[in-house]
């Protein structure tokens, strides 16, 4: 596979990726907000008059749901943080440069994973270790 000889993306490309990242941040923040709202609403589910056995099952289920929502919220916060770091790289004009090889990460990869810091080749090599 031929290496891209350019050392950085053009300002036009950087602006294009910035738009993608800002849209992803907006969407991710909405999703995070919904997850956080689910924490607040989970305690008022109207089960005060149900049988105790059903309530026990429901409380166990509620605990699992809270744990998975906490995990999802944590992952979402990390995703947002990584996207914000990508914006900093855009401002520094280092966005899209593989941190391992120094080659440009393909546009296709950056469109799919805009916070990527490794090229596909570097990612594959990382997995082999």
Q: How does pLDDT run across 29-45, given as a tens digit for each residue?
A: 999 999 888 776 655 55
Q: Which of 1, 28, 41 is nearest to 124 (CA)?
A: 1
Q: How far, CA to CA in Å, does 7 sit from each of 86, 98, 110? A: 17, 10, 16
pLDDT at position 118, please?
96
pLDDT at residue 52 greater than cutoff 90: no
As a whole number, the mean pLDDT across the chain is: 84
Would you state the structure tokens that stand for residue 93, as one six-digit string? 């004009």
Using pLDDT thresholds of 50, 70 and 90, give the confidence band for residue 1: very low
- Residue with token string 């805009």: 114
Question: Please, which residues have CB within 8 angstroms of residue 38's CB and are 6 or more apart in sequence?
Answer: 65, 69
Q: Note the pLDDT tens digit of each residue in 54-101.
A: 555 455 555 557 788 889 999 999 999 999 999 999 999 999 999 999
- The span from the CA of 16 to the CA of 4, in Å, is 19
The pTM assigned to this predicted structure is: 0.75
Using pLDDT thresholds of 50, 70 and 90, give the confidence band for residue 2: very low
Q: Which of 46, 45, 24, 27 is nearest to 35 (CA)?
A: 27
- The span from the CA of 67 to the CA of 25, in Å, is 24
Q: How far, CA to CA in Å, does 19 sit from each of 24, 83, 87, 89? A: 9, 11, 10, 14
pLDDT at residue 27 greater than cutoff 90: yes
């Amino acid at each position: 596979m031929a290496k891209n000889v350019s050392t950085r993306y053009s300002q036009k490309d950087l602006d294009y990726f910035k738009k993608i990242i800002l849209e992803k941040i907006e969407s991710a923040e909405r999703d995070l907000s919904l997850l956080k709202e689910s924490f607040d609403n989970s305690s008022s589910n109207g089960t005060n008059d149900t049988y105790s056995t059903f309530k026990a099952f429901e409380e166990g289920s509620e605990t699992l749901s809270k744990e998975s929502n906490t995990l999802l919220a944590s992952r979402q916060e990390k995703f947002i943080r990584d996207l914000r770091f990508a914006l900093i790289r855009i401002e520094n004009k280092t966005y899209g440069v593989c941190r391992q090889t120094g080659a440009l990460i393909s546009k296709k990869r950056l469109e799919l994973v805009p916070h990527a810091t490794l090229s596909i080749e570097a990612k594959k090599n990382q997995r082999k270790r």
